[in-house]
Amino acid sequence: MVENLSENNAKASQLTTDCQHPTYRNTAPNLEPILGKAFPVLDHGFVRVVDYMGDDGSIVQAARVSYGTGTRKVREDRGLIRYLLRHRHTTPFEMCEIKFHIKLPIFVARQWIRHRTANVNEHSARYSVLDQEFYVPDRAQMAIQSAQNRQGRGALISDDTAEVYRETLRNNAETAFTSYQQMIAGAEEDTEPNGLTRELARIGLPVSTYTQWYWKIDLHNLFHFLKLRLDPHAQYEIRVYAETMATIVEQWVPMAYEAFRDYSLHAATLSRMEVVALQSLLEGSPPAWESWGLSPREVREFCERFQLDPTTGRRIGEVK
């Protein structure tokens, strides 16, 4: 848990109710104890659950309205939830809703906000002065551009250079914040007030500056967010938020999360051509990648997934 929240965050925390009330609503017993608790992410960020609606039972309940008397035989909640997710019957998962309070760097917020299906209240730098908090990557994140992946990271940078870069990022951000605060405060020599309006003073701050928001989303769309942002190709700095949220969701709706993991997160999508390839390889046919319609890149990824030797089409290490 985060110990030292900034003044703003502390204030926000106080808004969360400190005592329990009775309710007739479905409650998620494992989520209740962590309501309002801030889970730290990156150097100054956090994720905390502010509110939620529904639980695994709400998914089942909604599905039963859809199927009416027709589902008498589906006795087991877990089985029904897995069936729904496996067959992409997504509407019952929309019946659960969760609201997070998140503190995150602006460049992460810019990726995050592309998910249009959530409700958002973000801290406004037009109304309020921003705290001097910005993200500096850990030494372990200081990597070169990937050679294979145009958007990813490659090998680590040497210690000395990494430290130079981190120092550069830190110094530039501190300079920007100092200027920001000075422009807002105004110059002393003038007789008239001359502090620059907040909405302009902030334009020199780096995209590593932390912002915060309330972010509310239904479970179906949250699963979609998690699938995309838990992916190894997602930028590390948003992936760590997704990982924290995934552990929270697992506490909230354990059956639905298990089903999501099995049928979506760790599922594999095979193209029409890959299905043909698999059917042939299972028959013992030699690989005919080109006539199956697979591009060289697709062959490489396909063989990696199933640990196949591209030449023989057989499992690597398999005794012939």
User: Which residues carry out catalysis?
Assistant: 229
Torsion angles phi and psi, residue 46, rounded to 5? -160, 165
The site for a second copy, by CB under 8 A, has a size of 150
Element (H, E) at 212: strand 210-218
Among 3, 4, 116, 148, binds a second copy (CB under 8 A): 116
Q: 3-state SS string over 120-138?
A: EEECCCCCCCCCCCECCCC
Helix, strand, or coil (residue 293): coil
Least Å from the CB of residue 258 to a second copy: 10
Site residues for a second copy, 259-318, by CB under 8 A, read 261-263, 265-275, 278-279, 281-284, 293, 295, 298, 305-308, 314-315, 318
Q: In whole angstroms, how large is the CA radius of gyration of the chain?
A: 25
Which region, judged by CB under 8 A, interacts with a second copy, from 8-16, 39-47, 244-252? 8-16
Which region, judged by CB under 8 A, interacts with a second copy, from 38-46, 60-68, 242-250? 60-68
Site residues for a second copy, 212-251, by CB under 8 A, read 212-214, 216, 218, 235
* Sheet of 210-218, strands arranged across: 39-41, 45-53, 97-105, 210-218, 119-122
Among 10, 119, 291, 312, binds a second copy (CB under 8 A): 119
Among 105, 240, 256, 299, binds a second copy (CB under 8 A): 105
Per this entry, what is the length of the chain? 320
Least Å from the CB of residue 1 to a second copy: 16
Question: Which one-letter DSSP state was computed for residue 157?
Answer: P
Least Å from the CB of residue 232 to a second copy: 13
Bridge partners, residue 210, by sequence = 105
Which residue in this structure is represented by tokens 């490489």?
Answer: 300
Site residues for a second copy, 155-214, by CB under 8 A, read 155, 157-158, 161, 164-165, 168-169, 172-173, 175-176, 179, 182-184, 186-187, 190, 192-200, 202-209, 212-214
Helix, strand, or coil (residue 96): coil
1 binds a second copy (CB under 8 A): no
Measured in Å, how far apart are the chain's first and last C-alpha atoms? 53
Least Å from the CB of residue 86 to a second copy: 7
Which region, judged by CB under 8 A, interacts with a second copy, from 40-48, 151-159, 239-247, 248-256? 151-159
Helix, strand, or coil (residue 103): strand
Among 107, 132, 230, 243, binds a second copy (CB under 8 A): 107
As given in the structure block, the two tokens for residue 216 are 């509310």
**Residue 221 CB contacts under 8 Å (≥ 6 apart), including other chains:** 94, 115, 117, 118
Q: CB count, 10 Å around CB of 76?
A: 11
Least Å from the CB of residue 23 to a second copy: 5
